[in-house]
Amino acid sequence: MIRFNKNYKFNVPYGHKPERFAKAYVTKIVNQVKRLETIFPQNDWQFKCQSFEETIKEASEGDFIYCDPPYIGRHVDYYDSWDEEHEILLRDELYASGAKFILSTWDENKYRKNEYIDSVWKDCYKLNQEHFYHVGAREKNRGSMLEALLMNYEPLTAQDQKKVEYEQLSFVLPGMKQVGSMCNLQMEE
Ligand SMILES: C[S@@+](CC[C@H](N)C(=O)[O-])C[C@H]1O[C@@H](n2cnc3c(N)ncnc32)[C@H](O)[C@@H]1O
């Protein structure tokens, strides 16, 4: 995570572990910032600071919404706390919009499970990713967590994804043919 305070100083606690700022890691951050610098001028972006209800109401079928709300049921330090009412309202607004959406949330850790996934979000498809939290004000908030991406459409499997990449590649490079698995390509004689 990268976060700066009002004085533009880096303010993510890192425990003063020297390996947290390994050269390769700093290079990675700088490259990401550089990439944003090239992407930003390519589009007419609009950044709005408003509640999700207003934002989602601006969307309709054919749009794509990515939501990263405060994690329900976990310690949230934002201005207003996030509760079940917010979670349900967010779900209702997302479905009412008719847009495709992805929402990131937590699934489980060794202590607890996110019960809202099987209730509020029960109609969603789910993908999981293991994540290790190095940053956290309290020691018990650090550690391994299973994260979830919830979506209202069936996500591509890894196999489908490779097929799409293959089709895109063979469109760009017509001399390619598929050999063996989906991702092995070779030039046709
Ligand atoms: C998990 S954080 C998202 C972090 C963000 N993806 C980023 O990379 O900076 C959740 C965010 O939801 C915002 N939030 C809380 N209540 C909200 C509401 N009613 N409408 C819109 N955003 C809200 C919080 O201020 C916080 O910034």
| 62-101 confidence digits (pLDDT tens) | 999 999 999 998 866 655 588 999 999 999 999 999 999 9
Distance 92 CA to ligand 1 centre (A): 18
Contacts for 97 with CB less than 8 Å, ≥ 6 apart: 56, 57, 59, 60, 61, 63, 65
Which residue, by CA, sits nearest to atom 7 of ligand 1?
A: 68
Distance 43 CA to ligand 1 centre (A): 23
Distance 173 CA to ligand 1 centre (A): 42
Could you tell me the maximum CA-CA distance found in the chain, to the nearest angstrom?
64
Neighbours of 150 (CB within 10 A): 23
Is 45's C-beta closer than 6 angstroms to any atom of ligand 1?
no
Domain annotation for the chain: domains and CATH numbers? 1-45 (no CATH), 46-155 (3.40.50.150)
99-126 pLDDT, tens digit per residue, is 999 999 999 998 899 999 999 999 999 9
Is 73's C-beta closer than 6 angstroms to any atom of ligand 1?
no
Give, for ligand 1, the residue of 76, 78, 149 to mutate: max count of ligand atoms closer than 8 Å to Cβ. Answer: 78
Q: What angle do CA 61, 59, 114 make, to 5 degrees?
A: 95
> Considering only CA atoms, which of 136, 63, 72 is closest in space to residue 104?
72
3-state SS class at 133: strand
Q: pTM of the predicted model, to two decimals?
A: 0.75
Distance 166 CA to ligand 1 centre (A): 37
Banded model confidence at residue 182, pLDDT cuts 50, 70, 90:
very low
Assess contact for 152 and 100: CB atoms under 8 A.
yes
